[in-house]
Each structure stands twice: as structure tokens, then as C-alpha cells.
Amino acid sequence: MSENLLLLASILVFAAILVAKAGSKLGAPSLLLFLLLGMAVGADGLGLTFDDFEVAESIGHFAMTIILLSAGLETSFSDIKPIYKQGALLSTVGVLITVGLSGLFIWLVGGKAGGFPILACFMMAAVMGSTDSASVFSVLREKKLRLRENIGPMLELESGSNDPMAYMLTILLVKMLSIEVAPGHGAMSMILSGALVVLVQIVVGLAIGVGVGFAAKWLLDHLSLPGFALPAILVLSLGFFANGVASVLGGNGLLAIYVAAIIIGNKAKVKQKKEILQFFSGLTWLMQLVMFLILGLLARPSQMLPVLLPAILIGLFMIVVARPASVFLTLLPFKGMSVRAKTFVSWVGLKGAGPILFALCPVVAGLEGASMMFNIVFIITLFSLLLQGVSLSKVARWLRLSYEETPKAETFGIEIPEEMGMLSDHVVTPEDLAGGATLRDLRLPHGIRVLMVRRGEQFLVPHGSMQLQPEDHLVIILGESDD
């Protein structure tokens, strides 16, 4: 049995990689293709049946932990410092506005006539209230979008920190719908107790995240672990620790992970940081692939037809009305941000695995109508990835907000500590050799040293009398002058 499961899993992963490769040429987001592949081999496709929602929720939460951990490690303080206020407001106030407007629309469109409690309508809105971190990180990096006005870091900060907010609201509303209101306790007491729960979740999550982050920094700075594998495993274990402790103490585990990871990524002095980030990048891709495949396997397209029209109406409202309203209202105090930038941020309201994963919460809790809600959320996610995910780069160019990425210096794998200087590269031109063909004749400025010369496939050790040729690649270090 286990051998068959491993064989099936390996075939699915291999197929997903091939699909992602083909999709990159077509401009389709890989995550969308993983989701469609899961549906294609599922019960309504090739007949592979998977309907264990609890297992799917556990796997999804595990994957989300690693995705947020990796995202936090790659988030730079210097990048988010100019826009942290905007990102924080979008991930809190923006989510509340989106949920409020969308919940009201869902109730007016179908909930009121169908006898759905208004709390259930707001719960559905909360499930879809965040921009999905996995989708946003993947699409922005996959398409190598470089955006003006610090939009890229702001979107990544928002999507990394609004998943915890949407998850908190979802869990809170699931609990409120699962219990009977005690006599003498009306709507106001429920709202007040709910607000208190959200406040505790945020405060405890932030506190645990900061505490674990600085504890991890101290450990990484003082343990001097060999290689990169052990430091990477230590970071991974501390991420899970932050999640677990925060959850046990009534805080938000996802928020704790993200905050801890940002501190670790920016404060810890790890020599093998590049390798650790590559390790987490590969792990993140695997988690995204597995999560989207499993969520695709859960889907039953035959059950989605009856709710197709209302799902598309809700999706259109969220894309055209709720998301833009929340963005423009939230960013109103920031006069320096152009209307074009706010318009693009409004368009990047990508849904993904997060909303589908959160939609499993009411299903696992056994709430009435939860299966229908799952189908609606699934359709909206597909709709969002198809419409917004595919068009992101085109919209950025249309709004004149994207620009060509500056090629990174080719250092052929050489790394040095930051305090020693900065590595760069230089390609020798005929003009460089006009005053002489040796390395000494280049007359490099003070503070610049040549570490290596690459000529074709050869790597040469530099010395002053070396004869240079056009197209030679020089790996140079920019540091303090020795004079």
C-alpha cells in the first residue's frame, strides 16, 4: 500500500513539474496549473478519490507554515521600511473593509433569500478576505516583476501578514456559528468577545514571533553550526515552535511564524544564508505543489455547476468593488502614492490556496452549508487566478509601473561576509585595453580588487602581468582602500 502511494505521489509531482514548465511558456501561474492538475486526476476526472478534509486541512496548515517562514526569511527590512505602514494597514484594516463589504453583498445576493445567517455570509467573506501569500509570492517572482513606488515589497508584506488576519476572523466566526448564544447574551456581547479574541491573537502572535525571532538569532550567532543543513533545520524547527507556542497560548501561529522569520532573516549572522534561502525556496515550491494538488483532488466540478453563477458574481464584486474600495480607503492618508499604484494594488487581490484552506475550517467543524461554501470559494479562487494571475504583468505595463530588472552581478558562486565588501563583476571591453592589455594596466580605483577571471569556460587566478582579452569576466570586490 505504501509503495503504491509513493509511486502515485511521485507520478503526480513529476506531472506537476512538467505542467509548470509548459505553463511558464504560456504565461499561466504554476499554482493555477497545480490546482487544475489535481482536479483532472480527482474523482470527476481520472477517478482518484480523496475526500478526507481533516487530513487536507492538516497538510495545508503545515504547508502554509513553511511558505510563510520562507517568505519572512526573504523579506528585507530595508525593502519594507518605507512601506511597512501601508502594508500593515492593508493587512488589517484593508481585510476588515473587504470582509465587511463582501459579507454584506453575499447576504444581499443570496444569503437573505436562502435563509443563510448573516454571520455565515461574513464567514464566507472572511475566508476570502486575504490576498493569498503563496499566490502573490509565486506570481510576482515567477514573472520577475519589478515595480515602481515600492509596490513589490508592500504587496509581499501585505500578503504575508493578512493571511493570519483572515484566518483569525474565519476561526472566530466558525466558533460563533458553532455555539448557541446563551440567554442574556446578544449580538453586542458576541461582537465584543470576538474583538477581544482577535486582539489577544494579534498581541500574543506578535510577542511570540518577536521572542522566538531574537532567540533564534542568538542561537544562530553563537552555536556556529557546520554547513548549511543544520542551520536550516534549526530555523525550520523554530518556525514550527513559534507556531505551536503561539497557538497554545491563544495567539495567532501564522503571524508568529512570519514575524519570527523576518527577524531571523534580517538579524541573524549566518554565513550560509544563500544556501539556507535556496533550501527553503525548494521546500516552499514542494509545499505549494502538494497543497494545490491536494486541494484540487478535493474539488468536485460536478457539484460546482449549481453555484457557478453566484460564485462568479461574488468574485467579480470582490475584484471590482470590495478590493479597490479597501485599498483606496486604507491608503487614503498616503498622498505620495499615485492613483496608478493604488489601482495596481487593487488588482493584486489574488486568491489561492489560503482561501480554499480556510474554507475547510467550516467543513471540518460540520457547519450547515459548508460544502456549498467550499465549492463557491474554489470557483472564486480559480476565477481570480485565471483573471488576475495571468494579467498581472500586462496590467503593470499598462499602468507604466513595471521596469526591466537590473541583471545581477555574475560572481560564479563566490560569497564573502558583508563586512568585507560587496562583490560585483565587470566584462572587459576593447576600450578597457586601450592603455595596455595587462591586469595592472587597467588602473582600477582604490578599494577594488580582482578575485577571479573567467575566460570562456576557464577560471584563472589573477595577477598583475596577466594578459586580458575582450569579453573576459572579472569578479571584483568593492571594499575599503588599503592605503
- The enclosing domain of 460 has a CATH number of 3.30.70.1450
Asked whether residue 413 is domain-assigned, the answer is no
Nearest to 239 by CA among 225, 219, 269, 224: 219
Length of the chain: 483
Within-domain flag for 411: no
**Residues 368 and 438 both lie in one domain:** no
CA-wise closest residue to 138 among 403, 388, 407: 388
My answer on whether 437 and 360 are in the same domain is no
In order, the DSSP letters of 391-448 are HHHHHHHHTT-EEPPPPPP--TT----GGG-EEEEEE--GGGGTT-SBSGGG-PPTTE
Amino acid at 295: L
Residue 80 lies in a domain: yes
Q: How far is the CA of 217 from the CAs of 75, 205, 262, 277, in angstroms?
A: 16, 18, 11, 16
pTM of the model: 0.79
Confidence (pLDDT) at 224? 78
Last residue of a domain, one of 373, 403, 433: 403
The answer as to whether 408 is a domain residue is no
Range of the domain at 208: 2-403
Domain-located, residue 409: no
Round to whole Å and give the CA distance between 119 and 274: 46
Same domain, 364 and 452: no
Residues 264 and 145 both lie in one domain: yes
Query: Does a structural domain hold residue 410?
Result: no
Q: Are residues 314 and 371 in the same domain?
A: yes
Q: Are residues 279 and 225 in the same domain?
A: yes
- Chunked into runs of 10 residues, the chain (483 residues) has average pLDDT values of 75 85 70 85 83 87 90 85 89 92 89 72 89 63 70 83 84 79 54 76 92 93 82 92 93 91 88 83 88 87 88 93 94 90 89 83 86 90 86 85 61 53 73 77 74 82 83 75 48
Which of 31, 38, 26, 64 lies closest to 138 in space, CA to CA?
31
User: 360: buried, middle or exposed (CB in 10 Å: 19+, 13-18, 0-12)?
Assistant: buried
Q: Are residues 20 and 124 in the same domain?
A: yes
154/192 same-domain check: yes
Task: Write b or e for each residue in 377-411: b if 16 or more Cβ atoms lie within 10 A of its Cβ, otherwise e.
Answer: bbbbbbbbbeebbbebbeebeebebbeeeeeeeeb
Q: Which of 375, 403, 431 is the endpoint of a domain?
A: 403
User: Quick check: 51 and 307 in contact, CB under 8 A?
Assistant: no
Cα torsion at 186, 188, 190, 194 (round to 10°)? 180
Specify the number of domains making up the chain: 2
- Residue 483 placed within a domain: no
Residue that is last in its domain, among 403, 432, 467: 403
Residues 257 and 358 in one domain: yes
- Cα–Cα distance between 15 and 13 in angstroms, integer? 5
Q: What is the predicted pLDDT for the residue at 419? A: 47
pLDDT at position 184, please?
A: 46
In-domain check, residue 259:
yes
Contact in structure between 167 and 116 (CB atoms under 8 Å): no
Q: Which neighbouring-strand residues pair with 454?
A: 459, 473
73 and 42 part of one domain: yes
How many Å apart are CA 293 and CA 134, to the nearest integer?
Answer: 14
Q: Which three cell numbers stand for residue 166?
A: 483572515
Cα gap 162→165, rounded to integer Å: 5
**Same-domain check for residues 49 and 179:** yes
Do 81 and 134 lie in one domain? The reply is yes
**pLDDT of res. 380:** 92
- CATH number, domain of 192, equals 1.20.1530.20
Among the listed residues 232, 86, 230, the one whose alpha carbon sits nearest the alpha carbon of residue 159: 86
Rounded to 5°, angle at Cα 204 from 165 and 174:
45
CB 102 within 8 A of CB 325: no
Which pLDDT score, from 0 to 100, does residue 140 have? 60
* Cα Dmax for the chain: 93
pLDDT of residue 134: 57
